[in-house]
Amino acid sequence: MRTANVTCAVVIGLLLASCTPDESEPGQAAQDLQAGSFLGTKTITVNTGTSTGAVMWGGIGFLYGLSESPNLNGYTLSDSMLTGLVHPQYTSQKAPWGAQHPDGDALNTAVQFKRVGGRGVGIYVQDFYVGFPYPNNGLSSYLINVVDPVTASVKADRNRTFMHYVPFNEPDWIWYATSGAKFTQFLADWKTTFNRIRTNDPGAKIAGPNFSHYDATAYRSFFTFAKANGVLPDIVTWHELDGSLFNSWYSHYNDYRQIESDLTLSRHEIFINEYARSSGDLAVPGNLVQYLARFENSKVFGGLAFWHGIGNLDDLVANTNPSQSVPGSSLNTPDAAWYLYQWYGQMSGNTVDVVLPSLNGSLQALASRSGSTVKVIFGGALGPSDTYDAQIVLTGLSGSSASYKVYSTDESGTSPAAPPSVVKSGTATISSGKTTISYTNAFAHSAYLLQLN
């Protein structure tokens, strides 16, 4: 998903460096909820002795997050803006020679992304077209005029194995549907296109079906068909853009894993290659914690949605103008949300069990342990001006005491932000492997890091 097609060049240059719906109000945008309330004390229990697997850093991903190096306007995204995040995972970019945007070609951006340690680049094949929604000239035209030249370019590229193809973007409403004749046609066209890509580029990695949202019935039908016809995607994708994730993420995730189990499929990598609502989430640390915690807890990958300018890591990097259609340039300087993602990228070792006030509630957290170091990232409230007190209960510790610091990163919009400040520090007494650290007056749009050594 993205806004209207960009017809004027977006000048993107690059130099260095919660609110969610309440569980009782599914789907309601955070900014529509009553603001300015004190929500009381919220308790997060971190069982540091209970590992939930290696830290995955799955949410450090992008859609059109990178510009070409240098891009059409002569600017270059600094490597340090990516290496500062430590563990960037996937970015999705437009097809080679694509006309969807004036910048962000997959093959050109892959050079930098591979250099800084990225996991891979997804190619939105239909972004070869200039229009959005994409013009439907029939499958034959799509195969001859888009799929064939795109696969030829990728196959000849030195970074070929770093790529995966996304043959259809949001086919549940662009060209096709989730049921009826249009869905049946999608299944047939998926098979034809999948086989065409594999014929043109043997060994190609293919991602899909890439619906705009998770549809349990359609996904079960799709994977049943894909298994029977030998056209299973290598990477499973869908989008989380409408806020339903806040109440329904675990339902979506568990339903897909149940499909795998029922169909005796191997466990596939999941990539939510577009996440965050069109307003209220990007560049807002307290809201973005909501996504990072859920994705890390489920061990899936995610890519921030493209709602604004190309090449600013989807508003993690300060930008002179965040509009798609108005020229602006990256300042190559972090905004507040960038520091949240840096905290996440700096986690190491294993994630550990976190018990929240409510699994689908507004306060979310993720935690890791590496040796004697424990890190807890937390944030989120209801209205954008709400406050709350956080009580972090840590169990499974050793020793009689530990030093700790609490850092905050406070929303700066798309303007540069100062590095996170220490808002509390001290020495915690540990008794029977347990200690409690409290932080008062936490803000909805801020994110917090507790580090215990």
Statement to judge: residues 375 and 305 lie in one domain:
no
Q: What is the pLDDT of residue 328?
A: 56
- Give yes or no for a contact between 311 and 71, defined as CB atoms under 8 angstroms apart: yes
pLDDT at 221 over 90: yes
Please, are residues 121 and 334 in contact by the beta-carbon 8 Å criterion? no
Nearest by Cα to 122 from 263, 247, 303: 303
| Same domain, yes or no: 382 and 275 | no
What local confidence, expressed as pLDDT, does residue 29 receive?
A: 33
Whether 171 maps to a domain, the answer reads yes
Residues 130 and 151 in one domain: yes
Domain assignment present for 68: yes
3 state DSSP class of 378:
strand
Task: Tell whether the model's pLDDT for residue 7 goes beyond 60.
Answer: no
299 or 28, which is more confident: 299
Q: Where are the alpha helices (DSSP H) in 31-105?
A: 79-83
Residue range 370-418, pLDDT digits in tens? 999 999 999 998 889 999 999 999 999 999 999 999 999 999 999 999 9
Q: Looking at the structure, do residues 74 and 181 belong to the same domain, yes or no?
A: yes
Highest mean pLDDT among 15-24, 75-84, 360-369: 360-369
Q: 211 with 251, same domain?
A: yes
Write the CATH number for 298.
3.20.20.80
- Quote the number of domains for the chain: 2
Whether 1 is covered by a domain: the verdict is no
**What is the pLDDT, as a whole number, of residue 36?**
82
Do 69 and 179 lie in a common domain?
yes
Could you tell me if 339 and 352 lie in one domain?
no
Place of tokens 């300015």: 36
Q: Residue 95's closest CA among 63, 127, 121?
A: 127
Residue 216, pLDDT above cutoff 90: yes
Considering the chain, what is the average pLDDT of its residues?
Answer: 90
- Write out the H or E segment, with its range, that includes residue 448: strand 447-452
Summarised one tens digit per residue, pLDDT across range 275-323 is: 999 999 999 999 999 999 999 999 999 999 999 888 899 999 998 776 7
Residues 30-72 pLDDT 10s = 333 345 899 999 999 999 999 999 999 999 999 999 988 655 5
Residue 13 lies in a domain: no
**Residue range of the domain that includes 158:** 58-346
Same-domain pairing of 47 and 81 = no
Token representation of residue 32: 């529509």
* Whether residue 228 sits in one domain with residue 188: yes
User: Is residue 198 domain-resident?
Assistant: yes
pLDDT at residue 329 above 80?
no
- Residue 199 within a domain: yes
The mean-pLDDT minimum among 29-33, 264-268, 317-321, 427-431 falls in 29-33
Instruction: Examine the domain organization and report whether 281 and 364 are in the same domain.
Output: no
Q: Is residue 107 one of the residues assigned to a domain?
A: yes
pTM of the predicted protein model? 0.91
**Where a domain ends, among 346, 376, 403?**
346
| Same domain membership, residue 247 and residue 375 | no
Q: Which of 346, 362, 388 is the last residue of a domain?
A: 346
Is residue 183, in this structure, part of any structural domain at all?
Answer: yes
**Residue 453 CB neighbours (<10 A):** 11
The per-residue pLDDT for 27 is 31
227 and 79 share a domain?
A: yes
Distance CA 6, CA 336 (A): 27
Of 325, 346, 367, the last residue of a domain is 346
> What's residue 326's pLDDT?
54
